[in-house]
Each structure stands twice: as structure tokens, then as C-alpha cells.
Structure 1
């Protein structure tokens, strides 16, 4: 299992601005890490879907640790 950091960004005029990050301590693969981070981000912000607060969710390439 690996550790991941997922970045959430809002795009304004095509430029992404980070609105939050979520660290996932253990996930089987990157896809599951993004799904878990999206759920945690939504819960933290009190919304049902993370897309209400951000436009993009992506893995931070430098944060993956095996």
C-alpha cells in the first residue's frame, strides 16, 4: 500500500488555484486514493459532492511514497 496526496483546485480563467489538499495514508492504487480523498474533502467542506468546491482533483506526483 502507498501514501498519496490529492490536490483539489478551482480553475479561474483556465488557471488552477489549489483550494485544498488531502493526504491518504494507505490506498491500494492511485484511483482509490483519489476516490477516498474526494469523499474526505466533501465531508470536510460539508457538501455532498467535492465538485461544489473544486473543479479538479489530481494526485500530487511528488507525494507518493511506497
Structure 2
């Protein structure tokens, strides 16, 4: 299992601005990490769906590679 960090951004006039990030300590694969981070991000911001606060998410593996 690998560690991941998922970054959430809001686009304004085509420019992405990071609005937050969530670290996932252990996940079987990047998609499971993304889903867990989306749920955690929504809870942290008090919304039902993470898309209420961000437009897109980007996942980063612990080795610094972006997936």
C-alpha cells in the first residue's frame, strides 16, 4: 500500500487555485485514495459533495509522481 496526497483546486478564468489538499496514508490504488480524499475533503468543509468547493482534484503518489 502506498501514501497519496490529493490536491483540490477551483478554476477562476481558466487558472487553477488550490483550495486544499488531503493526505491518505494507505490505499490499494490511486482511485481508492482519490475517493477517500474526496469524502474527507467534503466532511472537512461541511458540504455533501466536494465539487461544491473545488472544480477538480489531482492525485500525487508519495514519491512525488503525479497520477
4+ residue segments displaced more than 3 Å: none
For the residue of structure 1 that corresponds to 2:48, the secondary structure is coil
CA RMSD in angstroms, aligned pairs only? 1.5
Name structure 2 gaps, 5 residues minimum: none
CA drift of 1:60 comes to 2.5
Greater share of helix? 1
Partner SS state of residue 46, structure 1? coil
Alignment of 1:1-66 (within 5 A): 1-60=1-60, 62=64
Q: Distance in 1 between matches of 2:32 and 2:58?
A: 12
In structure 1, stretches of 5+ residues that fail to align are none
Q: Report the TM-score, using the length of structure 2 for normalisation.
A: 0.90
Matches of 2:20 and 2:52, distance apart in 1: 13
Structure possessing the higher relative contact order (Cα contacts under 8 Å, 6 or more residues apart): 1
